[in-house]
Amino acid sequence: MKILVTGAAGYIGSHTLVELANAGYEFVVYDNLSNSSKESINRVSKIIGKDILFEQGDIRDTKRVQEVFEKYDIDWVIHFAGLKAVGESVEKPLEYYDNNVIGTIRLLEVMKEYNCKKIVFSSSATVYDEKSPYNYTPLRETDPTGDTTNPYGTSKYMIERILNDLYISDNEFKIVILRYFNPVGAYESGTIGEDPSGVPNNLMPYISQTAVGKREFLSVFGDDYDTKDGTGVRDYIHVVDLADAHVKAIDYINSDKFNANISIFNIGTGFGYSVLKMIKAYERASNKQVPYKIVPRRSGDIAVCYADSSLAKEVLGWEATRDLEAMCRDSWKWQSNNPDGYKEKKCNNAKK
Ligand code: NAD
Ligand code: WQD
C-alpha cells in the first residue's frame, strides 16, 4: 500500500518524503512541476538511498490521476499540491481557485472512485480570522476562521469546508487537516530546501538571499506594530519538524485513536519571533551581515500570529523539537550551497 503525495517536488513535500521513507512508508509522487523542479526528487532519492516513483501530472487532470490510481495500490493521500503566493492570488484569483479548490475536488472525486478515503491536507494559519481578537494570544483550532483577506487564504478555507462536508456525506473518510504556521529551514544536509521562483515573498528566503549576496537589503515591513521591537511576530517552524507532523498524522489515521471530530491541528512551535530577531539570529548562524531598511507596513499583515499546538502534542504525539538556531543554520547551509536553488549546485564565494 502506498501514499500518493501530491506536490511533493515542492518545499514541504520534498522534506516530508524523507521523513516518510525514514518511517518505512512507501509513496508515489504526483506533481505538475509548476513551482518546482525534478531535481528536488533526485536529491531526496540520494538522501533516502533509493529510487522514487514519480508521476508528472496535474491534480485537475482526472484521466491522469485515474491512471496513477490504476497503476499503484494507493491507500492514503498527502495533498500538498497548490499555489501559495498570497500577492499573486490577489492578482489571479481565478487561477488560485481553479488550481487549489477545483484541483482538490477533482482529486477527491478520483479518490472516492477508487475507494481511497484517507487524506492529510496542507492548510494554513492564514484561515484564521485576521481581525480576530485572538491575535495577541496563541491561536487554537477552535478560534474563528473564514474571514480571510486574500484568495489564497480563502481557497484553503474553502477546501477545509469541502473536506468537512465530504466527511458528513461519507463517514468512511478519514481526514486530517494540518494548519501550518511559518515553515522555514531545510534538511540538515543542505541538499534540499526552499527554492522560490523570482523575488521571494516570505521573510526567511529573503533574509537568506540577502545574506548570500543575491539581494542588496531586506525591507522590514513596519516597525510600528504593538510588539516589543515594533516589527511583526510569527511562529516559525523548522520544515523537518513540519514534515514529521505528516508522518504522525498518517500514523494517527491508521490507529484506533483516530477520531473524526479531532482532525484539525495547528502545526507551529508556540513561540513568536519578530523580524528583527530573525535577522539577528540569521546573522549569527551565517556569520554574514543582513542589511535592512525599515519601510511601511505591507498591506494585509497583522502584528502577531503564533500557534497553540497542544492538541497536536496530545493527540498526534507531535511537537516541534528544532529551535531558531537550527532553523537559521540549516537554511544557511542550503542557501550557501545552492545560491540559485536547484539550478546550480555550488557557490564559490559563499561561506560553507
Ligand atoms: P511549493 O510551491 O514548494 O510546493 C507545491 C507543489 O505543488 C509544487 O511542487 C507545485 O509544482 C505543485 N503543484 C501546484 N499546483 C499543482 C497542480 N495543479 N497539480 C499538481 N501539482 C501542483 O509549496 P510548499 O511551500 O511546499 O507548500 C505545500 C503546501 O503547503 C501548499 O498547499 C501550500 O499552500 C501549503 N502551505 C505552505 C506554507 C508555506 O509557507 N510554505 C504555509 C502553509 C501552507
Ligand atoms: C513574516 C513576517 C512580514 C518579508 C505568509 C502567508 C501565509 C503562509 C506563510 C502559506 C511578517 C515580515 C516579510 C519581507 C518583512 N503561507 N516581512 N520583509 O505573512 O506571516 O505568512 O507565509 O500558507 O499564508 O500569508 O509570512 O514570511 O511573508 O512574513 O518584514 O521581505 O516578516 O511583514 O511580519 P506571513 P512572511
Each residue's pLDDT tens digit, 184-227 = 999 999 999 999 989 999 999 999 999 999 999 999 999 999 99
Rounded CA separation 166/326 (Å): 39
Q: How far is CA 27 from CA 51, 65, 68, in A?
A: 11, 15, 12
Test site for ligand 1: of 61, 84, 158, most ligand atoms within 8 A of the Cβ: 84
Rounded CA separation 257/249 (Å): 11
Residue 270 · residue 307 · CB < 8 Å: yes
Which atom of ligand 2 approaches the CA of 274 most closely? Answer: 34
**41, pLDDT greater than 50:** yes
pLDDT number for residue 303: 92
Please work out whether the CB of residue 13 comes within 6 Å of at least one atom of ligand 1: yes
Q: Say which amino acid occupies 259.
A: N
Residues 6+ apart with CB under 8 A from 347: 212, 336, 337, 338, 339, 340
Q: What is the DSSP letter of 153?
A: H
Distance 29 CA to ligand 1 centre (A): 13
Rounded CA separation 29/61 (Å): 15
Please work out whether the CB of residue 86 comes within 6 Å of at least one atom of ligand 2: yes
pLDDT number for residue 1: 87
Please work out whether the CB of residue 206 comes within 6 Å of at least one atom of ligand 2: yes
Per-residue pLDDT tens digits for 252-266: 999 999 998 889 999
Residue 78 · residue 3 · CB < 8 Å: yes
Distance 143 CA to ligand 2 centre (A): 21
Task: Give the position of cell 511537537.
Answer: 319
- Categorize the per-residue pLDDT at 348 as very low, low, confident or very high, splitting at 50, 70 and 90: very low
Task: Give the position of cell 483550532.
Answer: 141
For the chain, give the mean pLDDT: 95
pLDDT number for residue 137: 81
Task: Give the position of cell 491575535.
Answer: 135
Which atom of ligand 1 approaches the CA of 99 most closely? Answer: 18
- Give the domain range for residue 125: 2-349
E strand map for 134-217: 174-180, 182-184
Task: Return the percentage of the chain with pLDDT > 70, whole number.
Answer: 96
Please work out whether the CB of residue 62 comes within 6 Å of at least one atom of ligand 1: no
pLDDT number for residue 48: 98
**131, pLDDT greater than 70:** no
Closest by Cα among 178, 184, 335 to 273 = 184
What is the number of other CB atoms lying within 10 angstroms of the CB of residue 177?
20
Mean pLDDT score, 55-77:
98
What CATH number is associated with residue 320? 3.40.50.720
Kind plus residue range of the DSSP H or E element containing 60: none
pLDDT number for residue 132: 58
Is 273 a known active-site residue?
A: no
Burial (CB count within 10 angstroms: exposed 0-12, middle 13-18, buried 19+), residue 193:
buried
Distance 100 CA to ligand 1 centre (A): 9
Q: At what angle do helices 11-22 and 38-48 cross, to 10 degrees?
A: 20
pLDDT number for residue 349: 38
Active-site residue identified among 25, 96, 97, 152: 152
Please work out whether the CB of residue 123 comes within 6 Å of at least one atom of ligand 2: no
Mean pLDDT score, 265-291:
98
Please work out whether the CB of residue 29 comes within 6 Å of at least one atom of ligand 1: no
Please work out whether the CB of residue 220 comes within 6 Å of at least one atom of ligand 2: yes
Q: How far is CA 128 from CA 135, 146, 270, in A?
A: 9, 6, 16
Domain count, the chain: 1
Pairing of strands 118-124, 218-221: unpaired
Distance 202 CA to ligand 2 centre (A): 5
pLDDT number for residue 345: 42
Q: Say which amino acid occupies 137.
A: T
**289, pLDDT greater than 60:** yes
Residue 145 · residue 207 · CB < 8 Å: no
Mean pLDDT score, 112-129:
97
